[in-house]
Amino acid sequence: MSLPPRVTVVIPCRNDAGFLDACLAALAAQTHPADHVIVVDNGSTDDSAAVARRHGVTLVEEGNVGIWPAAARGYDEAMDGADIIARLDADSRPHSDWIAQLVRAFVADPGLGVLTGGAEFYGGSALTNYLGENWYIGGGHYWVKKWLGIPLVFGSNFAMRTRVWRRVRDLVDRDNARIHDDLDLTIRLRPTDGVRYDPQLRMPVSARPLQTPGGLSRRVFRVATTFAASWPEGAAWRRRDSAQRGTDASAAAAGDWVPDGHDWAPELGR
């Protein structure tokens, strides 16, 4: 009987000691524990590093401040020991079966390369939480799929096979702190990477970015700057041509997985 895939969880963190403590406690309570947890301390001046040490996880320092530099450093550190690299943010509070759901999905579908889910916002008003889940994140999933042909990879709740990161790690704009790292990653992915979205894979995350007009507007504006930074890679016409070439090449290779057009990973959440 084959062994289950090895899962490493990467958590970028900057000055989020309180949130990180709750996140790591939730990871410690998983029904299927992670094989490895890496916290990337991104120049914190609070107790974030001490919190990571107290929980006994691996602490990595990344001095280039920004979510992409920190996340990419974590993925690089995870490559050698993981089959699956999972990603949380410090304010994520994973349900106890989160890793178990990931493992079940990847084992059930060898063609699955990237799995992502939705959000359950906490800490805001009922209206803020609703708009965050259904307009901000839900709208992002809808419009990105329309434009790019694959689901948006939600940075607070996704996992990818290590082979996918090996392919794209030199393609992403990993040193750019002024763009959405998860959208930039999505732009570099292709249907042949096996990108799937499952609405049953939910992640509680803090509503704090949505509670001020300035915070929300900055995040919306970064969508434009992310596409601008990656242009023309994110152009719909370019992606259609690339997808067609990739499908033709995959179909010609015996035994290779060919995308079937479905967005949901089989068996996840069932």
With beta carbons less than 8 A apart as the criterion, state whether 196 and 265 touch.
yes
Structure tokens at 4: 């289950």
Which pLDDT tens digits describe the chain residue by residue (270 residues)? 577 899 999 999 999 999 999 999 999 999 999 999 999 999 999 999 999 999 999 999 999 999 999 999 999 999 999 999 999 999 999 999 999 999 999 999 999 999 999 888 888 778 776 666 676 677 766 777 887 889 999 999 999 999 999 999 999 999 999 899 999 999 999 999 999 999 899 999 988 766 565 555 676 667 778 888 887 776 766 666 555 555 444 433 333 333 333 333 333 332
The CATH architecture of the domain made up of 7-251 is Alpha-Beta Complex (3.90)
Q: For residue 216, give Cα distances in angstroms to 3, 114, 135, 162, 190.
A: 43, 27, 12, 32, 28
